[in-house]
Structure 1
Amino acid sequence: MKFAAIFVLFANAFSAGMMFLASVFISRYGGKELFGFFSVVLGVVVIGAKVSTLGLDVAIVRFLPKYRTEGRADAAGGIKRVAIGLTLVFSLVGALIFGTMLYYMRAFPGAVSFTVALALPMASLLAVFQNIIRADGNVSRAVIGEAVVRPATFMVFLVAVQFLLYDGLGNFTVGLGYTLALTASLVTVIVLVVVDKKVNWAGDFSLASDDFRQWLSHGVNLLLSESATALLNQSPIVLAGILLSAAEAGEMSAVIRLAMLVIFALTAVQSIITPFLSRAMSNNNTDELQALVARATGFTMAVALPVCGIFFAFAPELLGFFGEGYVQAVPLLRIMLMAYFLYAAAGPAVSLMTMTGQHKIARTVICWAAVIMMLAGATAMSFGGLAPAVWVSGAVVAIYPHVLAVLCRSRLGVDPTVLSLRFLLKR
């Protein structure tokens, strides 16, 4: 687990770094408008991918360890097939709707609209296949496609287009580059699934109605919470693109993406511990749950504290990388840095709730947070511009994880917050 944690941390750091460089590259060579376009499209793809999976990608991680403990290989085969099949269908429908909206409502050319829309099924299927790998505890292999292949392919494509093609970067080339990057990462993960024989296509499998209802019930709850989480992270950017302008969406994107680097260690560690949380819960082992989340929180804070401090001090220089006109957003970046630091201090509360049977409560809290973010953020943005919207976003991001942490303590007897470090001192 230590090797996996180190590898996943470095993979996520590589991904965050490369996507940061890609954002800077697009902003520098394509301008605020193009960066805003890419940011809004990326936000829609992230949200759409969560919806298209129906939450079954996370349900795989929840149920596969349970089925292996019970010796139910047929049910394990069934949930994989259902997740892949339904995700493929819904993501293709979503891509058609997304492409049509871009073409008719935003007046983008057909080539741009549907090239960008193809990113949606690629991202959705990637989530399912990498969680098939993650459910076996192979978290280091699971992140190779998304955290290594995707950002590297995208960055190489952008550089090649800018310096080798006469026209340089534009809406079509940026959209095509991201779709190709997702395709390359999906192919990589599928190869790993096939080589490791994660899905026995010729083996027996069951689609019992009780199991199917359980998967969908769990999946829909996870769908709502996962989609709401994506909305919490992406809605300020998407709203800025809709209510303000592409340039201001680019400015908001620079602020949000820099601030979210504070929690990249938490994102990495949550992907590592989810199968172990499910296994510990199956054994009713509260001590193991507490030990897992305490170590995860310690690891998270060890990264979040210096990242937040350095970014806070050098905010003007970091925003200056994106080009002229971004430095004015320094106060906004510092607000969001503090918000995400408080988010990190809540620890892996979201994963703990969703992997231990408390997903309905987690769904309710996260969905209400997303609703507040959307309504209050849209109102603030409409009447006051970016600054009031950032205050709203920062408040919601900082508070809702701690509400989940309080529920973890009351319902599970497990403290996921920074205060859980006291358990490490006792060991």
Structure 2
Amino acid sequence: MFGSLLQLMRRDVTRGVAGTILLKVGSGGLAFALFSLAARTMSADAFGDFATWLSIAQIASVVGLIGQELLLVRFLNEYDVGGRTDLTKGVLLSSLKGSAIAVLISISAVAAVAYIRGEWWLMILSISAFTAVNAGLMLGSQIARSLVSILMGEGNREFFWRVAVVLFLIAILFGHRQLTPAELITAMAVAMSAGLLVQIVSIVRVLPNLRDVTARFEKARWRTSAFRFWLSSILEAANQYFDVIIVYWMLDPATAGVYFAASRLANLFAMLSAALYTFGARRLPSLYFSKSHRELEHTLKLMAEVTALCVFTGLFLVWVGAPHLLGLFGPHFVTQQWVLIVLAIGTAFQAAGGPAAAILQLTGHEREYVPVVAANVALRLIGFIVLIPWLGVLGAAISATASLALATIALNVLCRRRTGLDPSILALAHFSSGKADTYAVRTADSND
């Protein structure tokens, strides 16, 4: 077994996936430290308010980007393979202009809601600043990931700025001072601004060859794809952040804080999914559009091997250590260990499904993806309405897990039918039985 693992880790693809996973796990560890320290420097209600407004700001960032972050991943890879620098420049200019205008509108809407609710002026400013900087990092990370490196894209988006915020929270904790949600959101926005600046500089340094290129635009094509990506991004954001808002509304701020903490811990597996998406978004589209079928299938097999190892190890750790992990947020979190376990089962199932969503979106089948995510959101909300009054916060966890499992199955079925690829860990069974050649990669839809 040791020899097999050693051979696995020597492969380039495996090292790439493992490196991306380590980056995501490191980012997740810092996020865990950030939120656990925040819970200890705030009252239960204040932490719930922080979690809710943070979720609202993150949804607003996604809405404001109008799908441009996914559009760039889709077309920067296609144009890079085709050597179309004129279209590369055109899509960059178009995306930056459109997203800047839409983000300003989104910020205005969030600020108006906060003002109507009677929030303090510092809270309104901090939420607005966080929304703007978060949107900039989301868009910049996609450009940096495609043109510079995964480390520059994801490192600045999720890793480096969190180090500064964690150190700030440690100082607050040792100083025995209570933070307000507005103060913490402001600190996060300031730290993220530094990451965004580094990202911008790195992107500008690799773009000098585009200065003398005349930009060409495919606005009709981009507009169609961007709308689909926008819908899918909003639905994904709702899946990830809207739960906390619903729990806050149906129960109370303290319970919303508990659900937020449990969901962030369960994101151990969501981090694995995000790592697979990050690696896949950089490698798979170029293989797909260049019709490197065998290398594409081989890459998916290696990704599945790493995924299977991480999923089973992670589930064991959560099952055994749930009370201890929740205890890091505070004593009153420990009693909700089953909320964490149930949520972890759902995110583990999603991770085991592999990057089906990324493959569908980045190979021209994004319109197939949107109805599945919409159904996922609808099922989750119905489950919340039915189960929360009956089971409380555990009902919310059950609803989230059930809807996520169904969506993962649907996406994998669609991925196999539309592209001929099996991105899940079940693909390992096909390869071990010698049936890998039965999967033929289909060409991208001509209507993409």
> Into which bin does the TM-score normalised by the smaller protein fall?
over 0.9
The amino acid across from 1:33 in the alignment is D
1:14 corresponds to = 26
**Does the aligned pair in 2 maintain the 1:335–1:391 contact within 8 Å?**
yes
1:380 corresponds to = 387
1:147 corresponds to = 158
Inter-partner Cα distance in structure 2 for 1:204 and 1:56 = 21
Inter-partner Cα distance in structure 2 for 1:352 and 1:337 = 24
Inter-partner Cα distance in structure 2 for 1:290 and 1:47 = 34
Inter-partner Cα distance in structure 1 for 2:65 and 2:202 = 20
1:114 corresponds to = 125
3-state SS of 2:279 partner: helix
* Structure 2 gap ranges (5+): 1-11, 437-448
Which residue among 266, 272, 281 is the counterpart of 2:279? 272
User: How many residues end up aligned between the 2 structures?
Assistant: 422
Deviation at 1:235, TM superposition (A): 1.9
3-state SS of 2:147 partner: coil
1:126 corresponds to = 137
1:193 equivalenced with 2:200 (yes/no): no
Deviation at 1:369, TM superposition (A): 0.9
Deviation at 1:71, TM superposition (A): 2.9
Which residue among 393, 416, 419 is the counterpart of 1:412? 419
Deviation at 1:6, TM superposition (A): 3.6
Superposed, 1:208-223 pairs within 5 Å as 211-223=218-230
**Does the aligned pair in 1 maintain the 2:57–2:110 contact within 8 Å?**
no
Deviation at 1:137, TM superposition (A): 7.0
Listed one character per residue, the Cα deviations across residues 105-163 of structure 1 (whole Å, up to 9, x for unaligned) are 2x210111221221111111111111112223722321120122221122123234444
Which residue among 357, 360, 364 is the counterpart of 1:357? 364
1:238 equivalenced with 2:245 (yes/no): yes
**Does the aligned pair in 1 maintain the 2:273–2:350 contact within 8 Å?**
no
1:181 equivalenced with 2:188 (yes/no): no
1:422 equivalenced with 2:429 (yes/no): yes
**Does the aligned pair in 2 maintain the 1:295–1:424 contact within 8 Å?**
no
2:64 corresponds to = 52
**Does the aligned pair in 2 maintain the 1:84–1:125 contact within 8 Å?**
no
Structure 2 CA distance for partners of 1:424 and 1:188, relative to 1, 3 Å: farther
RMSD across aligned C-alpha pairs, in angstroms? 2.1
Which residue among 296, 303, 306 is the counterpart of 2:310? 303
Inter-partner Cα distance in structure 2 for 1:285 and 1:47 = 37
Listed one character per residue, the Cα deviations across residues 178-219 of structure 1 (whole Å, up to 9, x for unaligned) are 211221221121121122337845642123xxx112112111
* Structure 1 gap ranges (5+): none
**Does the aligned pair in 2 maintain the 1:7–1:140 contact within 8 Å?**
no
The amino acid across from 1:364 in the alignment is P
Inter-partner Cα distance in structure 2 for 1:272 and 1:97 = 34
The amino acid across from 1:122 in the alignment is V
TM-score norm. by structure 1 comes to: 0.93
3-state SS of 1:54 partner: coil
Deviation at 1:172, TM superposition (A): 2.0
1:31 equivalenced with 2:43 (yes/no): yes
Which residue among 268, 274, 289 is the counterpart of 2:296? 289
Inter-partner Cα distance in structure 1 for 2:298 and 2:222 = 28
Inter-partner Cα distance in structure 2 for 1:157 and 1:93 = 31
Which residue among 80, 96, 116 is the counterpart of 1:104? 116
2:440 corresponds to = none
